[in-house]
Structure formats: structure tokens, C-alpha cells
Chain A
Amino acid sequence: MINIIKTAIKIFLLFIFLFFLGRAIFASAATSSKDININVDVTACNHNGICEMWLGESTTTCVADCPVCNHNGVCQPWQDAVSCPDDCGPHVVVAGGGGLPAINPVPPQILNLHIVNTSPNSATIACNTDILAYCQIFWGTTADYLGGSLSEISFVFNHQMSIPNLIPNTTYHFKVACYNTSRVGAETSDVTFITSKILPTAEMSNVIDANAISGNKTITLSWLSPPNEPDYAGVYIVRSAVFYPTNKDNGILVYKGMGTWSSALNKFVFTDAGLLNGVRYYYTIFAYDKNGRIASGAIVSATPQPPVKIIPPAGETTTVFVPVSQEGTGPAVPTGMASGTLVFKDFDFTQDLGLLPVVQDNVNAKAESPISVGLKNYKIPAAARSAVVTFENSVSKQKFSYIFKSDVKKDIISSIFFSSKDAGKYNVSIVFFDYRNKPVQQVTGTIILQPVAAELKYTQTIVKAGGCAVPKIISKTMENHPKLLQYYEIVCPWWPLVFVIIFVGGALFVWRVLVRLYPW
């Protein structure tokens, strides 16, 4: 019995050995492996002429924005006395000057401080100074200004700085400090602004500033991202040679993505190539976000044109080819088209989740904020199969067009676009098209955009004074600058010196009198 058990154990062990041996033999396969190290550098430098130390810019990482030394007598925060003695070394003492440093004691006046614009994530602040100065801006959610700071690096009269990476719908505090060439400076009192809201709209906002420029067999489309869409992920660009595509599948999808940033246009661009000259192409740019929402579509159209051959004058041999450029933004509508029974106030204009009243075909709205134009389904003209709203600046005549889209329940058609940052009067045209894409009905009205820039009240105080042994700060009302409540100016009064002279002279006189009276 024991022998049988021993034998069974041996057999079991042998099985295990053979099992692994078998696997080793029959499961083996030739492989080869290679590591590749992929490297990329992220630099702090954004070459905007401003040394943003809080972003990591320094004389080492971004000498373009943070020069080691600019020899202008001003010691910038990122400079030091070792590498830049001209600007950061001890000030030269004027011989015979009583030991006073040779600096300009008059600080710059900070004038016309204002908020150029705010978006959900940024704000642009501007001001002027009465003399050449460089300015710094400090900001934060409290008056401690812990959010960050920006500094200019050159002396100018007009100052403008943009604060990035802000939180939407949040109150921010900021102050501006400006310095003259002697680093004598002044700063504003605490000022606040509120960043724009990001509206939780059910429908996706369209891209803004969409445009088309035609070339030889090409059309270049340009646009800007919808500023109020934090989950914006890109655009679908759909092309048709018949009419503006009303949805993503209503034409040829020629592009999907964020586009390529064009520094020349300050917009995102995409160039559609390989087109036929002389054929009008219709494009709809559908913004989409990472949640699957797709905007109703911004529309543009253009016709590629062949180069124009210019015949040179007699005697010249050079032939010049000038490319033709043509822009198109919206549908062409015959003038005087009837509006039928539909009127401007049949449309619902909403902004900031509130309904905007329509008074005599006029709507007052805020600039730089999304506007939704909607029409209930039962009001849509019977023959209409699509609709386009065009928004035209009454002065510049620049216009942008957006297509309408039906909601999921098919209760309403609407289009959402971000209103222009420029306040003023805008002509609105809403055109309906039939199944043959012929315009059948047009409704017109006006939207008046009100500016959003806040009126600022602030004071200016001296933050650093030099050149006076006993400086005096005086208060002065700035009548010519109503936004500046009060201005404090530094002066070097003469009376301390007179006092010293009288005191010393008096002491000497008394001494001499005493010496004469008591010669011992």
C-alpha cells in the first residue's frame, strides 16, 4: 500500500514536470522588443512682452519677455543687482546734492482705469498714465491679490493687460500700480469685477465670427470658439454645392476638429482645397462639445475663383497673377420680401435665462453674452423647410448668419449665438426657405447691444517715494478725470530746510552772543 502511494506521488510530480516542460517547448515564440524615448519640452515663454513670473517665466526660461537687464534704470522684479547692476545697483548720488538720490520723485497719474471686457475665464484691464510708465496688475478673489500679477516691461502711456485663467461668475479684486523711470510709483485702490457667467443652455451655442475667403480652387473658413461653452470640443464643417447643410449629415463632412489657429486672422481656420472654380459652395460650421451637443450651425458661402491674369503693358515681359479673394457670410435675399403674417415679436429672444422684450421690432440686449432666437413650431410658415437668422452691424455692415435647429421635442426652432463685443445697433433678418431652398418669407428687426464695461471709481495713492528727505503727500481732486475720485501727490516742502537753517543760525547767534558776554 505504501509503495502504491509513493508511486502515485512520483507520477504526480512527473506529470507536473512534463506539463511545464511541454508548455515551455510548445508555447515559446520569438519576440523582439525596443524602447523609444519620446521627449517634448514645455516652455513658459509666450512672447507677449510681459514677464509673467507666476507662469514660470524668468530670465532663464523666457528671456524674450524677461530681459536680464534692459539698462533703463528700472529694477524689475525678475532682475537683480548682480546680473543687472545698471538697473538694480545703488542709485548714483549727485555730488553736492545733500545726499539726495538723483531720481524723479513725481509718480505717474493712473487715469481712465477701466475694464475692457470680461469673459467667463478672463478679463482685460486698461488705463493710461500721464507720463511714460510701466504698470503692474495684481488680482485675486480677495483684496490680498493672491491670484497672481502681471508686469509690463516697457514704458508706455497706454496700458492694457489681460488676466487669464479666471473662474466664471466670480468676483475678483484687483489693483494697478504704475511706476516712472525712477521706480517711483502709484497704485489704485481696490477695484472689483465679476467674470461672465457660463450659461447652462440646453442647446449648444454656435461659433462666432464665421467667415469664408475664397481662393484659387480653395475656400478658407475662419471662426472663433463659442466663449460660453466650457465643454466645447470642436467643429464639424459640412459642405454642399446646393444649399447650407441643415445638419451634419446633410452634405459632405470636410472637417472635424478644433481648426488651426491663424495668427494673421486671430481666428481658427480650415482650408477646403480641391474645389471647382466658379462653383458656389455652402458651408455650415457645427460647433460640438464633449457631451454630444451640436449647435444649430453658423453658415458661410463662397465661390472659388481662378487667378486673374494681368497682361503687362507693351514692352514689359512680366506677367502678374493676382489671386481673387471673395468673402461670403450668409444667404442672398431679395429686397422687399414679404413677412407674411409673421412679425418680429413672434420670436422669443432670451439672454441670461431671461426673456428679452420686443418693443416696436427692437430688442435691447447685452453685448458679449449668448442670445437665443426661437420660434414656436406652430408659428413656422407652412412652406418653410429651413430658416436662417442674420445679425448685421448697422455701421460696419459686417454680418454673421446662423441656421435654425428644431429642439428634440420639435416644439420650437432656435439658434444661439454669442453677441458681439461691440455695443451698438444690429439689424436682424430672419429668412425662411422652402424645399427648393428659395426664400419665401423674411422678418426683420433690430437688436441694440448695450456695453458691459463697468464704471470704475478708484483713488490713487503713492506707494514709493524717493528724492525727498521729508516728503509730504497732498490730496488733490482730479476734475478732468471724473472716474478718478482723488489723487495724492508727493511734494518736497521747503519749510523743513528753512526750519533747520533758522535753528542752526539761531544757535550760532546765541553761541556767539554768549562768547562775547562771557569771554572766559
Chain B
Amino acid sequence: MKKNIFFIICLCLIASGFLSKPVLAYVMQSANFRLQQDSINFGGSQGTSTDYRLEDTLGEVGTGYSSSSNFNLHAGYQQMDQNTYITISSPDAVSMLPSIRGLSGGTATGSAPVAVITNNNLGYSLYIRASTTPAMQSSFSNFANYTPSGAAPDFLWSVLATSSAFGFSPEGGDVVTRYKDNGIVCNVSGGDTANRCWDAIGSTNGLISQSNIFNTPNNTTTTIKFQAESGNQHVQQTGHYAATIIMTGVVN
């Protein structure tokens, strides 16, 4: 029996070795410095092996938490080694205006600022998806999801006179290349012209903004422009149309 227990413990240790990932973190990195952790002390040292690094300290001074309106200071040995978090804030609802005329057509627009704040040193990714397909529906009818003319989003919003569509365009400092433009086409490095680069909101997560650095204590806002149009030769059934858009932020 003792033999079996010993055998099982050995196997557990081996398994842990296989299944556990190496835990490595950087102290300082990059040309512009990202001072993540450091210590002012009179004792302690760093010990490393192939898979592990041991950091200890002794007699540290000037420790504790303090804050101002713009900054939070976590002074002390590895005080910043806290749990990462990400928070998204946005309006609960957006009413697109004006109302669209069912017979003669029209365009309604709306926007929602989505603020992301994260302390994750590697930043965040912001995704968008709709709860239904197509996204914008009423009890009896729907707006088709916007269809770009090619693989990239359309630089200019364009809907056939004989159809209707609902789409979006993200704007902000962290929007990914897909939604950037050079003044003519999208999906190129360059600017972020307002009300350009229109895309469909699918039922699976689509990446719209990304950053590789934390943004605390401030946040980063991505403004989602929504647009729905019914062409002037299209009859859109009257009613109240709604779409539930799900914004998901994930730390990198």
C-alpha cells in the first residue's frame, strides 16, 4: 500500500511538471522602458534556473498604497503583481435617428462610446458581435447585415436602392488596421477617417480594437457608429427594429 501511494505521488509530480507552464515574467524590457517591478532594499536577490526565477527582498522602505486623482501608487516589493482586470463601459441602449420611412427609404444613425480600462501590461482586445443573424430585427422583418463590396470594409457606406442594411464603423485610437484607411480604401495602415470603413456585425466575435499596453488609470474609448438604411426603391416593413450588440473585452 505504501508502495502504491509513493508511486502515485511520483506520477503526480511528473504530471504537474508536464501540465504546468513555465512562469516567467520580465523585470525591465523595451527601449522605452516599462518598469514593472523593482525594489529598493538592503537584502534579497534574484535566483534563476531554466524554468524558474526566484525573487526575494529584505528591509524594503517606502512601501504602501497611495493615490491622487490621476494616479495610483502601489509602492513596495511587487506591489503591482496584482490580478489583472478589464472593464467595459458603454450606454445600455442607442436609438438610431431619424426614423426610416418604410416606403421612400432613409438612413438612421447612432453611436455608442465603448470605454475599456485594463491594468494588463499586455493590453486588451475588444470584440463585437450581434446576438442574432441578421443583427437588426423586428417581430416580422429585418435589415440585412451590411455587405461590404470586398473582403475589406467599404470606405463609403453603400446600400442598393432596392434593399436595406444595418452595419457599423468603429473609431478610436486603438482600432485595428481593418478599420483604418488612407482616405480611399480601408484595411490599410493610415488614418481613421470619421464615418468611413463600414462593416457587418456578425454573430461571431470580430476584433475591432486592440492595444498591447495597459491604459490605467485612464481608459481608451472606441466609438461604434451604427447605421441602417432602406433604399428609396425598397419597402421596409413598418415597426420597431432592435439589435443586441455584445461588446467583449479580453486581456491579451
Contact = CB atoms under 8 A, between A and B. Distances in A.
Q: Interface residue tally of chain A, by bracket?
A: 35 or more
A14 B11 contact: yes
B160 A40 contact: no
A69 to B, nearest CB: 23
Contacts of B90: 34, 36
A32 B249 contact: yes
Contacts of A15: 11, 15
B3 to A, nearest CB: 9
Given A37-B244, A256-B156, A42 B161 contact: no
A36 B248 CA distance: 11
Contacts of B138: 42
Interface in A1-52: 3, 7, 10-11, 14-15, 18-19, 21-22, 26, 29-48, 52
Interface stretch (B16-24, B33-41, B49-57, B70-78): B16-24
A326 B221 CA distance: 45
A18 B93 contact: no
Given A31-B249, A31-B251, A56-B237, A43 B19 contact: no
Given A46-B104, A232-B161, A255-B156, A36 B8 contact: no
A164 interface: yes
A273 interface: no
Interface residues of B, number: 78
Interface centre among A15, A36, A46 (most CB of B within 10 A): A36
Which of A42, A230, A231, A290: most chain B CB closer than 10 A?
A: A42
B100 A41 contact: yes
Nearest to B101: A46
Given A7-B4, A10-B8, A257-B157, A37 B19 contact: no
Nearest to A292: B149
Contacts of A22: 19-20
Interface stretch (B60-68, B171-179, B228-236): B228-236
A40 B96 contact: yes
Given A37-B93, A233-B160, A43 B102 contact: yes
A180 interface: no
* Chain B CB within 10 A, most for which of A10, A41, A44, A47: A41
A39 B143 CA distance: 12
Contacts of B143: 40
B15 A42 contact: no
Given A22-B20, A46-B101, A38 B94 contact: yes
A48 B103 CA distance: 10
A55 interface: yes
Contacts of A156: none
A218 interface: no
Which among B94, B101, B143, B159 has the greatest number of chain A C-beta atoms within 10 A? Answer: B101
A40 B228 contact: yes
Nearest to A4: B4
Contacts of A215: none
A35 to B, nearest CB: 6
A257 B184 CA distance: 12
A148 to B, nearest CB: 11
B249 A41 contact: no
Given A29-B250, A41-B240, A43-B101, A18 B12 contact: yes
Contacts of B21: 26
A473 interface: no
Contacts of A40: 95-96, 99-100, 108, 110, 136, 143, 166, 228, 240-242
B94 A36 contact: yes
A124 interface: no
B89 A34 contact: yes
A396 interface: no
A22 B22 CA distance: 12
B84 interface: yes
Given A30-B84, A30-B250, A32-B88, A14 B96 contact: no
Contact of A46 (B4, B102, B224, B239): B102
A18 B14 CA distance: 11
A492 to B, nearest CB: 43
A281 to B, nearest CB: 18
Nearest to A3: B4
Contact of B91 (A18, A21, A36, A164): A36
B247 A257 contact: no
A142 interface: no
A275 interface: no
Interface in A198-243: 225, 230-234
A30 B246 contact: no
Given A18-B16, A33-B88, A256-B155, A38 B160 contact: no
Contact of A42 (B19, B84, B237): B237
A38 B248 contact: no
A39 B4 contact: no
A42 B241 contact: yes
B19 A34 contact: no
Contacts of B189: none
A55 B103 contact: yes
A55 B89 contact: no
- Which of A36, A38, A164 has the most B CB atoms < 10 Å from its CB? A38
Nearest to B85: A30
A321 interface: no
A501 B120 CA distance: 106
A61 interface: yes
13 contacts: A11-B8, A14-B15, A18-B12, A30-B86, A31-B248, A34-B88, A34-B248, A35-B131, A37-B245, A44-B103, A44-B238, A164-B235, A233-B149
Given A14-B8, A38-B96, 13 more contacts: A26-B21, A32-B116, A34-B88, A37-B94, A38-B245, A39-B93, A40-B241, A40-B242, A41-B239, A44-B103, A46-B101, A253-B184, A258-B159
Interface of B: 4, 7-8, 11-12, 15-16, 19-21, 83-96, 99-104, 108, 110, 112, 114, 116, 118, 120, 131, 135-136, 138, 143, 149, 154-162, 166, 184, 224, 226, 228, 230-233, 235-251
Interface of A: 3, 7, 10-11, 14-15, 18-19, 21-22, 26, 29-48, 52, 55-56, 61, 121, 164-165, 225, 230-234, 253, 255-258, 261, 290
